[in-house]
């Protein structure tokens, strides 16, 4: 799991992120044309930020008195309304300015495009807050965005003790018996079970001598096992849940257990990658994210190669000294 460089997402802070970028960028653009629409952009951002902080500080009542609870709910709803109304008013003004800028579209195509992107983000967050908070609607997970600046970020719950969730993308790696990483894949909207066969085939194309592979249980499905057995000679793919007599016999065989014991070695590679910078990606954008992961894998393989060379040199020195 590689984290993206983002703060913890909430509907209201994602809205403020988008709004702040819209006003900052459009004020900069208007100063170049020039247009005087957004001379007070910094003041307006501070004004909206105060409303945002007011919402952020509001807490649900823990009182057993239903009247107090209802009164606090009204205060919270009022704070949300004030925040959303001000943002919506300023976005309407931005829309008017964008209409004025249509004649400059050819000269400032890229900045106007970026402003429109953040404007769309702000409108989406406005809609989601109104539906979720004010209308009490439940949002589907697929509809949620977890970062305005790193939209590829996913909310991942792995069930680890002390870690309720992680924000980033999972990365699958395949390591050989010597500790070198042969292949890796950044998994966008993918699960282990989805990539097992494709990932293995890609690796076999690069390394035709690959004859066997050990997988986590998350890669298991009857179809995956069947397809993998056509690609590899030895498939160590533990089954989820209760084992049939046939599955139990296969997984308790000497060859299966012997190869399965080697699987834990990949955890060493994962820890090494995390300890050498791949726990969190500071680069922006999905292209840069994938590049960062690839460079980290290459660096890990170089480090492994360097350790082998050093061990040989030390062995030679000891032999000469003896």
Alpha-carbon distance 194 to 210, whole Å? 21
Q: Are 37 and 154 in contact (CB under 8 A)?
A: no
Check whether 160 has a pLDDT greater than 70. no
What would the mean pLDDT of 256-277 be, rounded to a whole number? 83
Check whether 159 has a pLDDT greater than 80. no
Taking only the tens place, the pLDDT of each residue in 111-158 is 999 999 999 999 999 999 999 888 888 888 888 899 999 999 999 887
Structure tokens belonging to residue 298: 């290459």
Taking only the tens place, the pLDDT of each residue in 73-116 is 899 999 999 999 999 999 999 999 999 888 887 788 899 999 99
* Matching residue, tokens 């993918």: 190
| Residue 170: closest CA among 290, 316, 8 | 290
Check whether 175 has a pLDDT greater than 70. yes
Confidence band (pLDDT; 50, 70, 90) for 161?
A: low
Q: Are 170 and 187 in contact (CB under 8 A)?
A: yes
CA-to-CA separations, 224 to 73, 194, 244, in angstroms, rounded = 51, 9, 17
Alpha-carbon distance 318 to 182, whole Å? 32
- By DSSP bridging, strand 171-175 and strand 181-186 are antiparallel
């Amino acid at each position: 799991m590689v984290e993206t460089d983002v703060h913890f997402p909430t509907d209201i802070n994602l809205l403020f992120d988008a709004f702040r970028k819209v006003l900052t960028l459009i004020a900069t653009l208007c100063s170049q044309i020039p247009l005087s629409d957004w001379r007070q952009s910094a003041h307006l951002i501070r004004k909206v930020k105060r409303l945002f902080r007011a919402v952020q500080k509001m807490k649900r009542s823990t009182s057993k008195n239903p009247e107090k609870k209802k009164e606090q709910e009204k205060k919270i709803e009022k704070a949300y309304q004030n925040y959303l109304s001000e943002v919506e008013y300023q976005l309407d003004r931005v829309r008017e300015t964008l209409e004025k800028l249509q004649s400059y579209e050819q000269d400032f195509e890229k900045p106007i495009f970026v402003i429109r992107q953040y404007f769309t983000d702000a409108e989406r967050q406005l809609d989601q807050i109104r539906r979720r908070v004010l209308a009490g609607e439940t949002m589907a997970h697929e509809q949620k965005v977890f970062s305005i600046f790193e939209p590829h970020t996913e909310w991942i719950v792995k069930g680890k003790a002390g870690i309720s969730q992680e924000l980033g993308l999972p990365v699958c790696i395949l390591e050989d018996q010597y500790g070198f990483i042969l292949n890796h894949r950044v998994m966008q909207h993918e699960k282990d079970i989805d990539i097992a066969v494709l990932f293995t085939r890609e690796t076999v194309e690069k390394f035709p001598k690959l004859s066997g592979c050990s997988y986590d249980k998350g890669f298991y499905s009857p179809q995956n096992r069947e397809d993998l057995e056509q690609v590899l000679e030895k498939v160590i793919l533990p089954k989820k849940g209760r084992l049939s007599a046939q599955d139990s016999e296969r997984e308790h065989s000497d060859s299966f257990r012997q190869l399965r014991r080697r699987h834990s070695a990949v955890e060493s590679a994962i820890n090494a990658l995390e300890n050498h910078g791949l726990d969190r990606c500071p680069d922006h954008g999905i292209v840069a994210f994938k590049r960062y992961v690839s460079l980290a894998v290459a660096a890990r393989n170089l480090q492994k190669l360097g350790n082998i060379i050093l061990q040989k040199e030390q062995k030679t020195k000891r032999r000469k000294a003896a």
